[in-house]
Structure 1
Amino acid sequence: MILAGGEGRRLRPATHTVPKPLMPVDGIPILHIILLQLRSAGFTHVTLSLGYRAHMIKASFGGNRWAGLDLDFSLEEEPLGTAGPLTLLPPFEDSTLVMNADLLTDIDFADLFTRHKKSQAVATIALAQQNIDIAHGVVEVDEEQQVTDFREKPRMSFLVSGGIYVLEPSLLTLLTPGGRRDMPALLAAAREQGERVEGYVFDGEWCDIGTPEQLERATAAFRADRSRYLSPKEQSQLWAGTGPAEEMVGG
């Protein structure tokens, strides 16, 4: 399931006319890149959770079959967060990958899914390493105000959620049908019940395209090494405007 219903407010004014999932990365809608990656990883059925400008996103695929993938469309009448849209779907029958529609990444989706299936976790979160350079000296003091540490312009490292999850059907019992809920709250509720939630740390490329600056960085990364994200065959099909069995243009 791909969460593609957001308004993309931080990308305005561009998203006044183009929904964020169709925002071009070097000429290719980010959502199309994600779907091709999922197909290459072995996925065959994807549900798109839509909201803002849903009609434009649906029209970009020309139907329920695109690039060898079966597509379903789920419509949010009002924003339900990053976990709430799961309640609009029929109950899961098996482990399901859920992700945001605004990510450029070279994560190995198949390996993530396989690792989860081998675990005892109800959820696995893809984690990316993020580094932040502090422009000033960082000082720590104890209760008596004595300096205990002083580091000049350190680099801080954090593991952040990559916006990609593999979830078990049992998690749906923790959601209220039609209610708003975000993924951190859902997974916190699972952990409170003693359920296992695992992290999958990957050290590849990960770009959120939520702001104009982030979109620019993602575009530069994709342009510099397209083969890192899409195979040469997929690239040629996209640039030619055609796809497998004419499906990329909805034929």
Structure 2
Amino acid sequence: MRAVVLAGGVGRRLRPHTLTIPKPLVPIDGIPILHIILAQLQSAGFTHVSLSLGHQAHMIEASFGGNRWADLELDFFLEEEPLGTAGPLALLPPFEDSTLVMNADLLTDIDFADLITRHKKSAAAATVALSRQHIDIAHGVVELDEDHRVTDFREKPRLSFLVSGGIYVLEPTLRRLLPTRGRDDMPALLDRARDEGERIEGHVIEGDWHDIGTPEQLNRATAAFRADRVRYLGRRAAAELGAGTGAFQEVGSG
């Protein structure tokens, strides 16, 4: 199985952590975010990962020491300018099968192999992994009709939304909808696919999902990962990462 990881972001909102290292190498409990993701993909049965790089690309390449890492075949593609969340796919050779595409700034315990399996069974052109997020409103929420009569009054409600988890499974046929050059984002690509009658499936992540865009979000992800590494990595990878052995080297472990 093949995956593409989008790792070209600058990470301005994550400063000061990104002042000296690229965002994908910011550590979670001592381990770079990107290394956690690749360890998860390897455990899920992926054999080939393409990394789309931009800001401080040389540091990310150097962190893997070559084109083999933890039994994964790696290749690197450089964005000369920011290309968004879909534009980098035009840099890669055409997909031969269903391909996982994901951002490099998240922590999740999603079963990647199960996501691929569900996608294939759905006959969809794309599957979007979704996270259920909640917003607590600190005030009473009032609704009015057109005559200004109160029709609903809810005290401090909790609102729920499904948000994109930054994880997608795409069929090779979607490549025809990519621009040959320049920026393109995944929502626009999937909108074009829907306009052409393609089925776009949603898969709700039942477990844990953390966007890592700010220092506060990084702290929450770190606390969750520190509390239960096995939940995110499985026992073998968690043990090897903890020991700093093999391809799984913790930051500062040498």
Work out whether the TM-score is over 0.5.
yes
State percent identity of aligned pairs. Answer: 76
Q: How is 1:147-158 mapped onto 2 (pairs within 5 angstroms)?
A: 147-158=150-161
Which 10-residue stretch deviates more, 149-158 or 222-231? 222-231
The 4+ residue runs of structure 1 with deviation greater than 6 A are none
Q: Deviations over 1:115-135 (max 9, x none)?
A: 011112100000111011111
- Are 2:223 and 1:220 aligned? yes
Equivalent residue for 1:115, pick from 118, 125, 131: 118
Shift of 1:231: 2.3
AA paired with 1:142? D
- Are 2:92 and 1:89 aligned? yes
- Are 2:176 and 1:169 aligned? no
Query: 1:107·1:204 contact (CA, 8 Å) conserved in 2?
Result: yes
Q: Name the residue aligned to 1:104.
A: 107
Shift of 1:40: 0.8
Q: Deviations over 1:159-180 (max 9, x none)?
A: 1111000001111111111221
Normalised to the residue count of structure 1, the TM-score between the two structures is 0.96
Q: How is 1:12-27 mapped onto 2 (pairs within 5 angstroms)?
A: 12-27=15-30
- Are 2:141 and 1:133 aligned? no
AA paired with 2:10? E
Normalised to the residue count of structure 2, the TM-score between the two structures is 0.95
SS at match of 1:47: strand
- Are 2:62 and 1:59 aligned? yes
Query: 1:74·1:89 contact (CA, 8 Å) conserved in 2?
Result: yes
Query: 1:25·1:218 contact (CA, 8 Å) conserved in 2?
Result: yes
AA paired with 2:57? A
Shift of 1:241: 2.3
Q: Gaps (5+ residues) in structure 2?
A: 250-254
Shift of 1:220: 0.4
Q: Name the residue aligned to 2:35.
A: 32
SS at match of 1:86: helix
AA paired with 2:102? M
SS at match of 2:245: coil
- Are 2:191 and 1:188 aligned? yes
Query: 1:61·1:248 contact (CA, 8 Å) conserved in 2?
Result: no
Q: Distance in 1 between matches of 2:58 and 2:240?
A: 24
SS at match of 1:230: helix
Q: Gaps (5+ residues) in structure 1?
A: none
Q: How many residues align?
A: 246
SS at match of 2:162: strand
Q: Deviations over 1:180-208 (max 9, x none)?
A: 11000000010011110000112100001
Q: Distance in 1 between matches of 2:115 and 2:243?
A: 31
Q: Distance in 2 between matches of 1:41 and 1:130?
A: 26
Q: Deviations over 1:29-49 (max 9, x none)?
A: 011111011111110000000
Cα RMSD (Å) = 1.0
Q: Distance in 2 between matches of 1:47 and 1:240?
A: 27
Query: 2:105·2:212 contact (CA, 8 Å) conserved in 1?
Result: yes
